[in-house]
Amino acid sequence: VRYGVLGTGMVGAAIGTKLVSLGHEVTMGSRTADNEKAVAWAASAGPAAHQGTFADAAAAAEVVVNCTAGAASLDALAAAGAEHLDGKVLIDLSNALDHSAGFPPPLFVCSTDSLGEQIQRAFPAAKVVKTLNTMNRDVMVDPARIPGDHVVFVSGNDADAKAQVRDLLGSFGWPAERIVDLGDITTARGPEAFLLLWLRLMLVRGNADFNIAVVG
Protein backbone atom coordinates (compact mmCIF):
# COMPACT_ATOMS: atom_id res chain seq x y z
CA VAL A 1 0.00 0.00 0.00
CA ARG A 2 1.21 3.55 -0.65
CA TYR A 3 1.10 5.65 2.53
CA GLY A 4 1.47 9.39 2.99
CA VAL A 5 2.78 10.17 6.44
CA LEU A 6 2.17 13.84 7.22
CA GLY A 7 4.66 14.87 9.88
CA THR A 8 8.41 14.90 10.35
CA GLY A 9 8.45 14.51 14.14
CA MET A 10 9.18 11.41 16.20
CA VAL A 11 5.72 9.99 15.48
CA GLY A 12 5.98 10.42 11.71
CA ALA A 13 9.37 8.73 11.77
CA ALA A 14 8.17 5.83 13.94
CA ILE A 15 5.06 5.20 11.83
CA GLY A 16 6.93 5.70 8.55
CA THR A 17 9.71 3.32 9.52
CA LYS A 18 7.22 0.68 10.66
CA LEU A 19 5.24 0.96 7.42
CA VAL A 20 8.38 0.62 5.31
CA SER A 21 9.47 -2.41 7.36
CA LEU A 22 6.10 -4.01 6.55
CA GLY A 23 6.74 -3.58 2.81
CA HIS A 24 4.73 -0.42 2.18
CA GLU A 25 5.75 2.58 0.10
CA VAL A 26 5.88 5.74 2.25
CA THR A 27 6.17 9.43 1.49
CA MET A 28 6.81 11.64 4.52
CA GLY A 29 5.28 15.10 4.17
CA SER A 30 6.34 18.46 5.54
CA ARG A 31 5.63 22.17 5.06
CA THR A 32 8.74 22.36 2.91
CA ALA A 33 10.05 20.16 0.13
CA ASP A 34 13.48 19.75 1.71
CA ASN A 35 12.79 19.37 5.43
CA GLU A 36 16.03 18.24 7.06
CA LYS A 37 14.40 15.55 9.21
CA ALA A 38 12.35 14.18 6.30
CA VAL A 39 15.40 14.06 4.02
CA ALA A 40 17.39 12.24 6.71
CA TRP A 41 14.54 9.81 7.37
CA ALA A 42 14.06 9.01 3.68
CA ALA A 43 17.81 8.47 3.28
CA SER A 44 17.96 6.07 6.22
CA ALA A 45 14.72 4.12 5.82
CA GLY A 46 15.45 2.47 2.47
CA PRO A 47 14.28 2.68 -1.14
CA ALA A 48 10.56 2.59 -0.27
CA ALA A 49 10.93 5.78 1.80
CA HIS A 50 10.37 9.13 0.11
CA GLN A 51 9.79 12.69 1.24
CA GLY A 52 8.20 15.87 -0.05
CA THR A 53 5.62 18.47 0.83
CA PHE A 54 2.37 17.63 2.60
CA ALA A 55 0.70 17.78 -0.84
CA ASP A 56 3.33 15.46 -2.40
CA ALA A 57 2.81 12.94 0.40
CA ALA A 58 -0.98 13.00 0.22
CA ALA A 59 -1.11 12.97 -3.59
CA ALA A 60 1.10 9.88 -3.76
CA ALA A 61 -0.87 8.02 -1.12
CA GLU A 62 -3.71 5.54 -0.98
CA VAL A 63 -3.87 6.01 2.80
CA VAL A 64 -2.84 9.18 4.67
CA VAL A 65 -1.64 9.29 8.28
CA ASN A 66 -1.83 12.60 10.16
CA CYS A 67 1.22 12.80 12.42
CA THR A 68 1.36 16.60 12.66
CA ALA A 69 1.18 18.81 15.74
CA GLY A 70 -2.48 18.88 16.74
CA ALA A 71 -2.74 22.67 16.78
CA ALA A 72 -1.41 22.70 13.21
CA SER A 73 -3.19 19.63 11.85
CA LEU A 74 -6.02 21.49 10.08
CA ASP A 75 -3.47 23.77 8.39
CA ALA A 76 -1.22 20.85 7.47
CA LEU A 77 -4.16 18.92 6.00
CA ALA A 78 -5.30 22.01 4.08
CA ALA A 79 -1.78 22.25 2.66
CA ALA A 80 -1.99 18.55 1.76
CA GLY A 81 -5.07 19.47 -0.26
CA ALA A 82 -8.65 18.24 0.08
CA GLU A 83 -8.42 16.87 -3.46
CA HIS A 84 -5.62 14.54 -2.28
CA LEU A 85 -7.61 13.37 0.75
CA ASP A 86 -11.05 12.86 -0.77
CA GLY A 87 -12.20 9.24 -0.69
CA LYS A 88 -9.08 8.12 1.19
CA VAL A 89 -8.66 6.65 4.64
CA LEU A 90 -7.17 9.38 6.83
CA ILE A 91 -5.69 7.91 9.99
CA ASP A 92 -5.49 10.60 12.65
CA LEU A 93 -3.24 10.04 15.64
CA SER A 94 -2.76 13.68 16.57
CA ASN A 95 -3.63 15.15 19.95
CA ALA A 96 -5.37 18.45 20.68
CA LEU A 97 -2.61 19.78 22.90
CA ASP A 98 -2.04 23.51 23.17
CA HIS A 99 1.70 23.82 23.79
CA SER A 100 1.65 27.62 23.69
CA ALA A 101 1.59 28.14 27.47
CA GLY A 102 3.98 25.61 28.96
CA PHE A 103 3.48 22.25 30.66
CA PRO A 104 1.09 20.61 31.14
CA PRO A 105 -0.60 21.66 27.90
CA PRO A 106 -4.39 22.04 28.01
CA LEU A 107 -6.63 20.63 25.29
CA PHE A 108 -7.74 23.23 22.75
CA VAL A 109 -10.89 21.24 22.00
CA CYS A 110 -12.62 18.71 24.23
CA SER A 111 -15.77 17.30 25.76
CA THR A 112 -18.34 18.47 23.19
CA ASP A 113 -16.03 18.19 20.16
CA SER A 114 -12.66 16.72 19.24
CA LEU A 115 -9.81 17.25 16.83
CA GLY A 116 -10.83 14.08 15.01
CA GLU A 117 -14.29 15.59 14.43
CA GLN A 118 -12.83 18.93 13.37
CA ILE A 119 -10.74 17.13 10.78
CA GLN A 120 -13.70 15.06 9.57
CA ARG A 121 -15.84 18.22 9.25
CA ALA A 122 -13.11 20.09 7.39
CA PHE A 123 -12.55 17.17 4.99
CA PRO A 124 -15.99 15.54 4.70
CA ALA A 125 -14.98 13.26 1.81
CA ALA A 126 -12.02 11.81 3.72
CA LYS A 127 -12.61 8.73 5.86
CA VAL A 128 -11.15 9.84 9.17
CA VAL A 129 -10.20 7.13 11.65
CA LYS A 130 -8.87 8.26 15.02
CA THR A 131 -6.53 5.75 16.61
CA LEU A 132 -3.19 5.26 18.42
CA ASN A 133 -3.24 8.74 20.01
CA THR A 134 -3.53 7.33 23.55
CA MET A 135 0.01 5.94 23.72
CA ASN A 136 3.63 6.73 23.07
CA ARG A 137 4.91 6.22 19.53
CA ASP A 138 7.11 3.26 20.49
CA VAL A 139 4.07 1.44 21.84
CA MET A 140 2.01 2.25 18.73
CA VAL A 141 4.31 0.25 16.47
CA ASP A 142 5.46 -2.39 18.98
CA PRO A 143 2.67 -3.21 21.45
CA ALA A 144 4.60 -6.26 22.73
CA ARG A 145 7.06 -3.93 24.47
CA ILE A 146 4.44 -3.63 27.23
CA PRO A 147 3.07 -6.68 29.08
CA GLY A 148 -0.65 -7.26 29.59
CA ASP A 149 -3.84 -7.00 27.58
CA HIS A 150 -3.58 -3.31 26.85
CA VAL A 151 -5.71 -1.83 24.10
CA VAL A 152 -5.88 0.56 21.18
CA PHE A 153 -9.06 2.49 20.37
CA VAL A 154 -10.58 3.15 16.96
CA SER A 155 -13.18 5.86 16.17
CA GLY A 156 -14.60 6.67 12.76
CA ASN A 157 -17.75 6.97 10.65
CA ASP A 158 -16.80 4.55 7.86
CA ALA A 159 -16.94 0.83 8.64
CA ASP A 160 -14.72 -0.20 5.72
CA ALA A 161 -12.09 2.38 6.68
CA LYS A 162 -12.10 1.09 10.24
CA ALA A 163 -11.74 -2.50 9.01
CA GLN A 164 -8.73 -1.43 6.95
CA VAL A 165 -7.22 0.29 9.99
CA ARG A 166 -7.83 -2.79 12.13
CA ASP A 167 -5.87 -4.84 9.58
CA LEU A 168 -3.05 -2.32 9.66
CA LEU A 169 -3.01 -2.35 13.48
CA GLY A 170 -2.91 -6.15 13.34
CA SER A 171 0.20 -5.92 11.18
CA PHE A 172 1.72 -3.60 13.81
CA GLY A 173 1.23 -6.42 16.35
CA TRP A 174 -2.15 -5.54 17.88
CA PRO A 175 -4.26 -8.68 18.49
CA ALA A 176 -7.81 -8.25 17.13
CA GLU A 177 -9.36 -8.59 20.60
CA ARG A 178 -7.31 -5.65 21.84
CA ILE A 179 -8.53 -3.27 19.13
CA VAL A 180 -11.57 -1.54 20.63
CA ASP A 181 -14.01 0.06 18.18
CA LEU A 182 -15.63 2.87 20.15
CA GLY A 183 -18.03 3.96 17.41
CA ASP A 184 -18.28 6.98 15.15
CA ILE A 185 -15.84 9.89 15.03
CA THR A 186 -17.57 11.69 17.92
CA THR A 187 -16.16 8.93 20.16
CA ALA A 188 -12.68 10.38 19.62
CA ARG A 189 -13.54 12.81 22.44
CA GLY A 190 -12.74 10.27 25.16
CA PRO A 191 -9.39 9.04 23.82
CA GLU A 192 -8.33 12.62 23.12
CA ALA A 193 -9.30 13.77 26.63
CA PHE A 194 -7.31 10.84 28.09
CA LEU A 195 -4.20 12.87 27.27
CA LEU A 196 -4.81 14.96 30.37
CA LEU A 197 -4.26 11.82 32.44
CA TRP A 198 -1.62 10.33 30.14
CA LEU A 199 0.67 13.34 30.58
CA ARG A 200 0.41 13.13 34.38
CA LEU A 201 1.04 9.37 34.35
CA MET A 202 4.16 9.93 32.28
CA LEU A 203 5.44 12.39 34.89
CA VAL A 204 4.73 10.26 37.96
CA ARG A 205 6.08 7.10 36.32
CA GLY A 206 9.05 8.82 34.75
CA ASN A 207 8.59 7.04 31.43
CA ALA A 208 6.17 6.62 28.53
CA ASP A 209 6.14 2.82 28.45
CA PHE A 210 2.57 2.24 29.59
CA ASN A 211 -0.88 1.91 28.11
CA ILE A 212 -4.55 1.40 29.00
CA ALA A 213 -5.84 -2.08 29.81
CA VAL A 214 -9.61 -2.39 30.13
CA VAL A 215 -10.54 -5.07 32.65
CA GLY A 216 -13.84 -6.24 34.06
Ligand X SMILES: NC(=O)c1ccc[n+]([C@@H]2O[C@H](COP(=O)([O-])OP(=O)(O)OC[C@H]3O[C@@H](n4cnc5c(N)ncnc54)[C@H](OP(=O)(O)O)[C@@H]3O)[C@@H](O)[C@H]2O)c1
Q: Which residues bind ligand X (CB under 6 A)?
A: 7-12, 30-32, 35, 67-70, 72, 75-76, 93-95, 97, 133, 136-137
Which residue, among 106, 164, 172, has the nearest Cα to 138 in the 3D structure? 172
Nearer to ligand X, 99 or 160 (CB): 99
Start-to-end CA span in the chain (Å): 37
* CB-count exposure of residue 184 (10 Å: 0-12, 13-18, 19+): middle
The nearest distance, CB 136 to ligand X, in angstroms, is 4
Q: Name the closest residue to ligand X (Cβ).
A: 9
Nearer to ligand X, 159 or 197 (CB): 197
Residue 65 Cβ, how far from ligand X at the closest point, in Å?
A: 10
Contact 51, 16 (CB under 8 A): no
How many other CB atoms are found less than 10 A from the CB of residue 66?
32
The total number of residues shown for the chain amounts to: 216
Query: Which one, 67 or 90, has the nearer CB to ligand X?
Result: 67
Q: Which of 114, 111, 20 is nearest to 65 (CA)?
A: 20
Smaller CB separation from ligand X, 48 or 76: 76
CB nearer to ligand X: give 21 or 32: 32
Q: Give the whole-angstrom CA distance, residue 89 versus residue 86.
A: 9
Which of 143-156 are b and which e, b meaning 16 or more Cβ less than 10 Å from the residue's Cβ?
A: beeeeeebbbbbbb
Quote the least distance from Cβ 216 to ligand X, whole Å. 25
Q: How far is the CB of 186 from ligand X (least distance, A)?
A: 19
Shortest Å, Cβ 80 to ligand X: 10
**Which letter does DSSP use for residue 108 in this model?**
S
